[in-house]
Amino acid sequence: MNKILPPAGALLAAVVLQVALAPQIAVFGVVPNFIFLVVVTLALVEGPVAGGVCGFVGGLLFDLLGTSVVGPYALVLTLVGYVAGMLSASMFAEGWLLPVTVVAIASLITEITYAIVLAVLGVATSFWSSLFTLMLPSALYHTVLVVLAYPWLARVLRPERQIKSFRRLA
């Protein structure tokens, strides 16, 4: 039970921040996704199963916040959380390079996969214009945010292990 509380609290805080703060700090129409950041951070800290479960719950909560179809973002975040969690074994050096790289790539893959899933479901989106106006800027925004958020989130999500922040560069 004690192991469930930090991820649940971080996910709940991410949902509150997503509703209350994210629209206020949008840059050029790109809104940060705090739920995504928590899912990828938990996956990197705890592994693929925790990343997948957190991805499903976080994605479902994100879908329920919106007015679109319920379920596609849960599917996408489940897959992204699981795959990102498979890299947790590679977290031998607790520097900044791996988390930043994983978030940049995972953000882009998440946005592209979500657009594909929505297209399959019949929700009309312009893929190419979204790529340059939403997907790439969103990946860049998440990459900047993870530099600020990862050290604190990693400490909250795994308090028994000492995280050395960004002292090591690789």
Give the CA radius of gyration of the chain: 15
Between 66-70, 102-106, 142-146, the lowest mean confidence (pLDDT) is in: 66-70
Residue 134 placed within a domain = yes
CATH no. for residue 33? 1.10.1760
Residue 168 placed within a domain = no
**Residue 157: predicted pLDDT:** 79
The predicted model gives 72-90 an average pLDDT of 91
Maximal CA-CA distance, the chain: 47
CB hemisphere CA count around 152 (13 angstroms): 7
Residue 39 placed within a domain = yes
Could you list the residue range(s) of the whole structural domain that residue 39 is in? Answer: 5-156
Percent of the chain with pLDDT over 70: 88
Between 69-78, 118-127, 130-139, the lowest mean confidence (pLDDT) is in: 118-127
**Residue 169: predicted pLDDT:** 42
Residue 62 placed within a domain = yes
pLDDT band at 93; cut points 50, 70, 90: low
Between 40-49, 95-104, 112-121, 157-166, the lowest mean confidence (pLDDT) is in: 157-166
Measured CA distances, 49 to 7, 23, 82, 109, 158 (Å): 13, 30, 6, 19, 15
Distance separating alpha carbons of residues 18 and 71, to the nearest angstrom:
18
Distance separating alpha carbons of residues 85 and 44, to the nearest angstrom:
5
Please tell me the total count of domains within the chain: 1
Residue 165 placed within a domain = no
Judge whether residue 92 has pLDDT over 80: no
Judge whether residue 116 has pLDDT over 80: yes
For the chain, the helix, strand and coil percentages under 3-state DSSP, each to the nearest 5: 75, 0, 25
User: DSSP assignment of 79-99, as one string?
Assistant: HHHHHHHGGGGGTTS-SSHHH
Q: Which among 45, 40, 115, 122 is positioned nearest to 84, based on CA atoms? A: 40
Distance separating alpha carbons of residues 24 and 123, to the nearest angstrom:
26
Distance separating alpha carbons of residues 130 and 138, to the nearest angstrom:
10
Does residue 159 or residue 165 have the better pLDDT?
A: 159
Between 21-25, 106-110, 159-163, the lowest mean confidence (pLDDT) is in: 159-163
User: What's the predicted TM-score (pTM) here?
Assistant: 0.87
Residue 169 placed within a domain = no
Residue 166 placed within a domain = no
Residue 161 placed within a domain = no
Residue 10, both tokens: 């971080």
> In this structure, are residues 113 and 76 in contact, taking their beta carbons and an 8 Å threshold?
yes
Measured CA distances, 114 to 18, 22, 74 (Å): 18, 19, 10
> In this structure, are residues 78 and 60 in contact, taking their beta carbons and an 8 Å threshold?
no
Residue 16, both tokens: 């509150």
